[in-house]
Structure 1
């Protein structure tokens, strides 16, 4: 009973943090990637958020979008759009295929890689994700590809179909009632270069007073 209560409390904190525009740490599962991602609602991302993602996360900075919104923006799965012999994912040990779509920059940025530029790109992706009238033509006027922010497509059924950080973050955003786009970055260990251990990720969350939630708790509550 205590474990269930702790999971419920962690989920409540995570939902409240997302609703307020703050970050949440989400661990997928030890038998999947075994990684913890630092996630934000994309519409709330600032330059300071991007600095935290690259300094405290250290992995790939991305924005996850639900399948319906990716379709509205005409964003393909990259592996379906590429014709190249390296485009072979049969040896991908943790999933059937990657979620990667295009990489983009906002046209009002400069190089696209600075904290300010990436924050602009990410924030606008969050803002337009909730606009049903914003389609591919508007997207092309505002964003260019390739760029410095990686877009990920969520599975159409979210957690009922796939249980990666893409779907976990999008399910959390849906529960929090925020715009349906999530920014994130994998947390890496500065000493080993590998994924940050779950214990160290929990310790980081405690030091910074941030919610930490297990993927299993999100799946149980939000599927």
Structure 2
């Protein structure tokens, strides 16, 4: 499917399938704009994709909330001794540092893991990102709790010029679509092979469910040209 079709789907509040490229993780993620997320979306990702349901946010929003990457938080922690800090991931096998930050729950959730709870946490974060209030950090600290059941991913400041992950690709798509730069992404897994779902199977799923399948390498080309 084309970039235009993928953007149209995201603007409608529908899913797209996004492949990051064969030279990286070589995984296909279900992606949706966070501002449209409902419990039904969370349930579908949980059932049809099966990976880790994460929320990606752009770098500027993360900075306004005082958030940092988890590997940096742990590396500067006084509670982690030098031996324990050897656990912290440097470069992952696919060539990048992980984009994970803290995990959160909205204060009005119960356990935080139900489809309703996760949808609430995600949609409220999208609202906060879109807010013009200049006290976002104070609102964030009083509205959300950590640790929680929605892992947050921080997109690289330079997006695709610095990192070519689903985190950056999905946020770049939000920029192109004119949507709030917060997304929900979830890896598609294969319960028969116990590995990532192949691109061929992902394409078959996309066709069966009238869902755009987009190759991230095309997005990288577009970004370089524009």
- Normalised TM-score (structure 1): 0.93
Secondary structure of the structure 1 residue equivalent to 2:102: strand
Counterparts of 2:209 and 2:34, CA distance in 1: 20
Structure 1 unmatched runs, 5+: 1-8
1:109 maps to what in 2?
A: 109
1:185 maps to what in 2?
A: 186
Counterparts of 1:90 and 1:222, CA distance in 2: 27
Matched length:
215
Counterparts of 1:217 and 1:191, CA distance in 2: 29
1:26 maps to what in 2?
A: 18
- Normalised TM-score (structure 2): 0.92
Is 1:157 aligned with 2:162?
no
Q: CA deviation at 1:86?
A: 4.5
Q: CA deviation at 1:87?
A: 3.5
Structure 2 unmatched runs, 5+: 75-79
Distance 1:169 1:91, change over 3 A: closer
Counterparts of 1:91 and 1:178, CA distance in 2: 31
Q: CA deviation at 1:222?
A: 3.1
Q: Is the 8 A contact 1:79 1:87 kept in 2?
A: no
Secondary structure of the structure 2 residue equivalent to 1:199: helix
Secondary structure of the structure 1 residue equivalent to 2:195: coil
Runs of 4+ in 1 over 3 A off after TM superposition: none
Q: Is the 8 A contact 2:155 2:167 kept in 1?
A: yes
Distance 1:115 1:86, change over 3 A: farther
